[in-house]
Amino acid sequence: MNHLFKPENMKQTNYLTRTSIFLFLLFLAPSVMAQPEHEPSEKKKEKIEQLKIAFFTTELDLTTEEAEKFWPVYNEMAEKLKAERKTQRKTAKEINKNIETLSDTELTEKVTTIFDSEITEAEIKKEYNEKIAEIIGVKKATKLLSLEREFNRELLKKLKGNRPPPPEHRPGGHGPR
> Domain residues of the chain, as ranges?
3-162
* pLDDT tens-place string over residues 10-22: 454 454 445 444 4
CA distance 151 to 157: 10
pLDDT at 160: 82
What are the tens digits of pLDDT across the range 48-77? 999 999 999 999 999 999 999 999 999 999
Whole-number mean pLDDT of the chain? 80
Q: What is the pTM of this model?
A: 0.67
pLDDT of residue 74: 97
pLDDT band at residue 161 under the 50/70/90 scheme: confident
Q: What is the pLDDT of residues 75-128, one digit of tens each?
A: 999 999 999 999 999 999 999 999 999 999 999 999 999 999 999 999 999 999
